[in-house]
């Protein structure tokens, strides 16, 4: 494999490797995830240094015993324990969005030809005709990121090595549960104990993108946003369609909540110079499986909710406030319609809003087998997605309440990602600022440092800012935290690795027009990351600031 790269320059190597990696169908959860890990491992072993030191390339089986992470270690020219981590992920989202072009989703040349001639989107066609963009699933997110790290690993192996060590980590499952990165933590602990490594910083090169039309700024990040998945189980009052006015349809409550929360920028955190994402509804449905003339008894809905400076406790209070507002709105409308159509209501239209923690405590006062029902329901529905299984658990608990009143129950489900960021003046922050200033002067690029990488990232698992008290609102409202799901909080705190993102530049990730800008990603970024690496090893040791 190395023979294909020998006579290529750096940018050509990066493009060749990106196209090579795109060709792997490494959709999250598929067989291709296994195949690409082995291929990356074998590719690195073909590099001259690793032919002589095969022990410095290895595979780690992830905690789900299904996937593998790839590791490559390159010792620095000094006898030092200081190590900079490079990391990227090899899984991608699916290719269904390509429609009739699905068979070409992993073929950059075919897509370039198509978008050059047949694109309705003038921006996409303009990019295709320029020759500066590379298309295909994973072109930005993030086969190109792997390629850039491999190019730099090869550069160091062929030329003078950096002062300190490089540890490359290519991980699985970033697009779903982050099993790969959570497994990496165990390996980082093992290497620290075995080789005495100290981790100076981690450089992720996940994609960056324009924030608005015409934006040419290259944003670099000194941390990662966090994420919770707030879920709402909504119990209504079912009715026959012939008695519909007496019912309380849970889909109405779910819809009101969706309309209130989804893309509501007014509840995002007010952070200057940060790209802050609003809540996004990822799932909404009722519990009916077949057609009949009874209204649904319950509805399920959950949201992607990013955290920056806000704690889970503060987020929980905010979500409950909006849930109560949605429930009150529906209650008032149902009562008013009943009054207008039938007359003075004799029905209680109130809708209780509570949390999993408080509802569980209420049930325990009734002396019902709460924990046994949780365990039995979980075992019964093991075949379901974990989020669906949690909804079944809440539904089973709702059935334990003799009152069976209309109720909205907030709980959390996987995944949870901590947030982290560096303060100005820390070793890594200063190295990044100096690196970008030098590159701006030499290349003419415009850079801006921001704290929070705005998309979901493996970097969230390298450092954590939340205290145990701040996490309690999550753990207490997580149906099976510690048994079916948790994150290694203690390991993350112990490692506490500054997490940076210096990404490839692209557009439309997770869309069929996904494409990578080659001039920056292949011609500038590899050298930018090497300069950053050099400065990280040169900077005087200072205490990290939280």
CATH of the domain at 335: 3.30.70.360
Residue 266 counted as domain residue? yes
383 torsion bin: left (phi>0), alpha (psi -120 to 50), beta (else): alpha
**What percent of the chain clears pLDDT 70, i.e. is strictly above it?**
98
Q: Are residues 380 and 442 in the same domain?
A: no
Specify whether 412 is located in the same domain as 426. no
What are the tens digits of pLDDT across the range 220-236? Answer: 999 999 999 999 999 99
Same domain, 185 and 39: yes
Same domain, 325 and 182: no
Determine the pLDDT at residue 134.
98
> At residue 332, does pLDDT exceed 60?
yes
Residue 33 has pLDDT above 70, yes or no: yes
Q: Give the three-state DSSP class for 423.
A: coil
Residue 104 lies in a domain: yes
CB 85 within 8 A of CB 195: no
Same domain, 331 and 444: no
Claim to verify: residue 432 and residue 380 sit in the same structural domain: no
Q: How confident is the model at residue 545 (pLDDT cuts 50, 70, 90)?
A: very low
CA–CA gap between residue 328 and residue 338 (Å, rounded) = 15
SS (H, E, C) 379-415: HHCCCCCHHHHHHHHHHHHHHHCCCCCCEEEEEEEEE
Q: Does this model's pTM top 0.75?
A: yes
Is the pLDDT assigned to residue 422 strictly greater than 80?
Answer: yes
| Any domain includes 31 | yes
Residues 54 and 107 in one domain: yes
Cβ burial of 317 (10 Å; 0-12, 13-18, 19+) is exposed
- Decide if 471 is inside a domain: no
Mean pLDDT of 355-383: 96
pLDDT in tens, 294-310: 889 999 999 999 999 99
Residue 185, both tokens: 């933590």
Residues 308 and 285 in one domain: yes
Q: For residue 474, is it within any domain? A: no
3-class secondary-structure state, position 216: coil
Number of domains the chain is built from: 2
Is 477 domain-assigned? Answer: no
The two tokens of residue 487 are 């994150």
Residue 534: Cβ within 10 Å count? 16
Q: Which domain holds residue 87?
A: 2-224+419-462+497-536
Residue 545 lies in a domain: no
The whole-chain average pLDDT of the chain stands at 94
Same-domain check for residues 405 and 334? yes
Confidence of residue 218 (pLDDT cuts 50, 70, 90): very high
Same domain assignment for residues 179 and 297: no
Domain termination site, one of 357, 384, 417: 417
- Confidence class of residue 62 from pLDDT cuts 50, 70 and 90? very high
pLDDT given for residue 119 in this prediction: 60
Mark whether 114 and 29 lie in a shared domain: yes
75-79, 174-178, 319-323, 487-491: which is most confident: 319-323
Which of 400, 417, 434 terminates a domain? The answer is 417
- Check which CATH number belongs to the domain holding 133 and give it: 3.40.630.10
Report if residue 485 sits inside a domain: no
Please give the Cα distance from 138 to 105 (Å, whole number): 9
Residue 72 pLDDT > 70: yes
Helices (H) and strands (E) in the chain, counts: 17, 18
d(CA 111, CA 28): 22
CA distances from residue 394 to 21, 221, 227, 479 in whole angstroms, order as listed: 42, 39, 22, 8
Are residues 346 and 239 part of one domain? yes
Q: Which of 383, 417, 451 is the last residue of a domain?
A: 417
How are beta strands 515-517 and 223-224 bridged, if at all?
unpaired
């Amino acid at each position: 494999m190395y023979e294909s790269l020998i006579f290529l320059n750096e940018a050509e190597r990066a493009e060749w490797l990106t196209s090579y990696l795109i060709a792997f169908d490494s959709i999250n959860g598929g067989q291709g995830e296994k195949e690409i890990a082995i291929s990356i491992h074998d590719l690195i072993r073909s590099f001259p240094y690793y032919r002589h030191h095969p022990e410095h390339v290895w595979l780690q089986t992830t905690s789900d015993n299904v996937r593998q992470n790839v590791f490559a270690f390159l010792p620095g020219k000094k006898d030092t324990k200081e190590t900079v981590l490079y990391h990227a992920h090899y899984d991608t989202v699916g290719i269904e969005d390509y429609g009739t072009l699905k068979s070409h989703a992993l073929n950059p040349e075919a897509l370039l030809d198509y978008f050059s001639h047949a694109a309705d989107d003038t921006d996409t066609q303009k990019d295709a005709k320029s020759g500066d963009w590379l298309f295909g699933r994973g072109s930005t997110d993030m086969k190109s990121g792997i390629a850039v790290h491999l190019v730099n690993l090869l550069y160091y192996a062929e030329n003078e090595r950096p002062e300190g060590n490089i540890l490359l980590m290519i991980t699985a499952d970033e697009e779903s549960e982050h099993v790969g990165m959570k497994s990496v933590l165990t390996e980082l602990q093992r290497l620290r104990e075995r080789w005495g490594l100290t981790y100076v910083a981690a450089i992720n090169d996940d994609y960056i993108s324009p924030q608005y039309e015409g934006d040419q700024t290259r944003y670099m990040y000194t941390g990662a946003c966090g994420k919770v998945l707030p879920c709402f189980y909504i119990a209504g009052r079912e009715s026959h369609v012939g008695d519909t006015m007496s019912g309380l349809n849970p889909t109405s409550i779910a819809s009101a909540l969706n309309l209130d929360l989804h893309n509501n920028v007014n509840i995002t955190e007010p952070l200057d110079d940060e790209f802050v994402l609003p809540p996004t509804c990822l799932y909404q449905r009722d519990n009916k499986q077949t057609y009949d003339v009874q209204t649904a008894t319950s509805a399920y809905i959950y949201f992607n909710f990013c955290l920056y400076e806000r704690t889970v406790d503060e987020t929980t209070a905010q979500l409950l406030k909006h849930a109560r507002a949605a429930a009150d709105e529906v209650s008032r409308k149902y009562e008013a319609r009943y009054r207008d159509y039938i007359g003075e209501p004799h029905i209680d239209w109130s809708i209780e809003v509570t949390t999993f923690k408080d509802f569980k405590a209420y049930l325990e006062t009734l002396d019902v087998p709460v924990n046994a029902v949780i365990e039995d329901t979980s075992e019964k529905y093991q075949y379901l997605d974990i989020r669906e299984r949690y909804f079944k658990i809440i539904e089973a608990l709702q059935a334990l309440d003799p009152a069976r009143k209309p109720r909205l129950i907030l709980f959390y489900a996987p995944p949870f990602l901590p947030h982290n960021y560096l303060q100005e003046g820390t070793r890594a922050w200063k190295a990044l600022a100096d690196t970008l200033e030098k590159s701006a002067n030499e290349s003419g690029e415009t850079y801006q440092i921001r704290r929070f990488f705005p998309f979901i990232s493996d970097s969230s698992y390298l450092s954590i800012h939340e205290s145990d008290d701040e996490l309690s609102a999550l753990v207490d409202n997580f149906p099976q935290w510690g048994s079916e799901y948790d994150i290694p909080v203690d390991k993350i705190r112990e490692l506490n690795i500054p997490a940076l993102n210096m990404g490839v530049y692209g557009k439309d990730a997770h869309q069929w027009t996904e494409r990578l800008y080659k001039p920056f990603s292949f011609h500038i970024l590899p050298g930018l990351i090497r300069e950053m690496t050099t400065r990280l090893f040169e900077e005087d040791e200072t205490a990290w600031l939280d």
